[in-house]
Amino acid sequence: MTTYIQTSEQFIRQDPEVEIIASAQRRDEYPIFVCQDESAAVRRLCGEIAGRRVALITDDSVARLHAGRLAHRLVEAGLNVAMTSFPAGEASKSLKTASELLDWLAGTALVRRDIVLAVGGGVVIDTVGWVASAYMRGMPYINVPTTLLAHVDAALGGKVAVNHATAKNLIGAFYQPKAVISNVGYLSTLDGRHLRAGLAEAIKKGIIGSPELFEFIERKHADILTGDLLACAQLVHGASVIKCSLIAKDPYEDDLQRPLNFGHTIGHAVETATGYGPVLHGEAVALGMACARPDRRAPWLAGHGDPATDHQPARTVGLPTTLASLPVALDPDRTVAALRQIRKIRDGRLRFVLPVGLGKTVIVDDVTEEEIHAAVRAARASRASRASGSTRAGQQLR
């Protein structure tokens, strides 16, 4: 029998062995504003901050390029702003950085209702979001993305985490931001490689959820890659709508069959196996998407693009879709170890999201160790044949 205790009198009469149900519910909603210049972004920020104290956290590069100036403008607008930064790059998405940030926050005058501002790419947003979730049992935080990847993906959805040597994003939480203020003007300083990596996550959303977005990227990728403000704003707006609608169906991943994970099973393993950094997240996802072939006949890890079924503009924009085009060599043993770790985290099953047409996916969760080893052997063979300058018949090595 289940009993809801209502009065102290009832409490005294209660059989102490009766089950007690505790409940807690929370509904999170937040606005996403897509701006095309910093002045518009500052106006939105001031509206959301509403006079509270601000702890602005960024990385060293973004501090120099944008965040220092942004902090100055917030101070000019009458806000009390403290700012810190940590070294740029995936290696900083760590417990060590998080712990240093917690120490720094403890030295500020911030109280629980003040605001943490995460200004940067996905590394800053994931790390700072997790720190905000922990500090004082949860501080409100606002995301100000500065890379294309963070604009179209990382800033949205409240998945916050740091990496562990054994697995990507192993230590984290679901903790939604108070608002996301995107200024695509910040993309003017981002290099082509990072712009392409960001496009990978947008292409993913087109493939899994929106033929319209996919078609937009096919038509506009050249404008996006040269930083055209309107094209970038339209892309960010469209990708945000799709991500939010996919997430709203299952915000806390109760169902592990998430199409948004397309390209990520192999992608995360590649990032872990290469030591977080040499392969950008978007590049790893592009390879992961190329490896997740709908027919299952293609080797899982070999990454041989098949032009007959390859409808991804990833290759067109210059993203790696084969092992040969990754910026570093992939160690097959470390990749298998990383996949094993992912299997352990995901209830003992490796799930692959496979597209079966634009906007439609199926999930395969019965990939065996043997299939993975076969794929790794194929990857090894393809590397060896590349090294000796030969290509086996029927293989496409780009």
Ligand X SMILES: NC(=O)c1ccc[n+]([C@@H]2O[C@H](COP(=O)([O-])OP(=O)(O)OC[C@H]3O[C@@H](n4cnc5c(N)ncnc54)[C@H](O)[C@@H]3O)[C@@H](O)[C@H]2O)c1
Which segment (38-46, 117-125, 318-326, 347-355) binds ligand X by CB under 6 A?
A: 117-125
Tokens representing 312 are 């991804």
Binding mask 135-154 for ligand X (x = CB under 6 A): -----------xx-xx--xx
Residue type at position 240: S
Residue 200 CA neighbour count, 13 Å, CB half: 29
Q: In the complex with ligand X, which residue's Cβ is closer, 48 or 153? A: 153
Q: Which residue's CB is nearer to ligand X, number 59 or number 114?
A: 59
Tokens matching residue 168: 């990507």
Closest residue to ligand X using C-beta atoms: 122
Site for ligand X in 173-212 (CB under 6 A): 186-187, 189-190, 194, 197, 201
Residue 63 Cβ vs ligand X, minimum distance, rounded to whole Å: 9
Q: Is residue 127 a contact partner of residue 97, using CB atoms and an 8 Å limit?
A: yes
Running DSSP on this structure, what letter comes out for residue 61? Answer: H
Taking the complex as a whole, the smallest distance from the CB of residue 156 to ligand X amounts, in Å, to 7
**Which residue lies nearer to ligand X by CB, 218 or 253?**
253
Q: Determine if 59 is a binding residue for ligand X (CB under 6 A).
A: yes
d(CA 376, CA 301): 6
- Shortest distance, CB of residue 64 to ligand X, whole angstroms? 9
User: Which residues make beta-bridge pairs with 172?
Assistant: 161
- Output the smallest distance, CB 195 to ligand X, in A: 10
Minimum gap (Å) between residue 171 Cβ and ligand X? 13
Task: Round the CA-based radius of gyration of the chain to a whole number and report it.
Answer: 23
- Whose Cβ is closer to ligand X: residue 204's or residue 304's? 204
Question: What secondary structure letter does DSSP report for 185?
Answer: G
Kindly state the number of chain residues that form the binding site for ligand X, as judged by CB under 6 A.
33
The single residue among 41, 86, 115, 122 that binds ligand X, judged by CB under 6 A, is 122
CB of 173 to ligand X, least distance (A): 11
Shortest Å distance, C-beta 167 to ligand X = 11
Residue 320 near residue 283, CB atoms below 8 Å: yes
Alpha helix locations (H) across 210-331?
Answer: 211-225, 229-248, 264-273, 281-291
Q: In whole angstroms, what is the distance from residue 65 CA to residue 69 CA?
A: 8
Token readout for 88 is: 């740029």
Please give the Cα distance from 347 to 88 (Å, whole number). Answer: 33
Of the pair 17, 191, the CB lying nearest ligand X is at 191
- Cβ of residue 262: shortest distance to ligand X, in angstroms? 12
The answer to whether residue 120 forms part of the interface with ligand X (CB under 6 A) is yes
From 44, 93, 204, 351, residue interacting with ligand X (rule: CB under 6 A): 93
The yes or no reply on residue 258 touching ligand X (CB under 6 A) is no
Q: What's the rounded Cα separation, in Å, for the pair 379 and 301?
A: 6
Of 75-83, 115-123, 295-303, 315-323, the window that binds ligand X (rule: CB under 6 A) is 115-123
CB nearer to ligand X: give 210 or 272: 272
* CA angle (175 as vertex; 171, 176 as ends), nearest 5: 145
| Contact with ligand X (CB under 6 A) among 116, 121, 175, 269 | 121
Closer by beta carbon to ligand X, 146 or else 182: 146
The beta-carbon contacts of 59-65 under 8 Å, at least 24 apart in sequence, are: 59/85, 59/86, 59/87, 59/88, 59/89, 59/92, 59/120, 59/121, 59/123, 59/124, 60/85, 60/86, 60/87, 60/88, 61/88, 62/88, 62/119, 62/120, 62/121, 62/124, 62/146, 65/146, 65/186, 65/189
Near ligand X by CB under 6 A: residue from 45, 83, 88, 116: 88
Closer to ligand X by Cβ: residue 84 or 396: 84
Token digits of residue 71: 């902090």
Per CB under 6 A, residues contacting ligand X are 59, 61-62, 65-66, 88-90, 93, 120-124, 126, 146-147, 149-150, 153-154, 157, 159, 186-187, 189-190, 194, 197, 201, 280-282
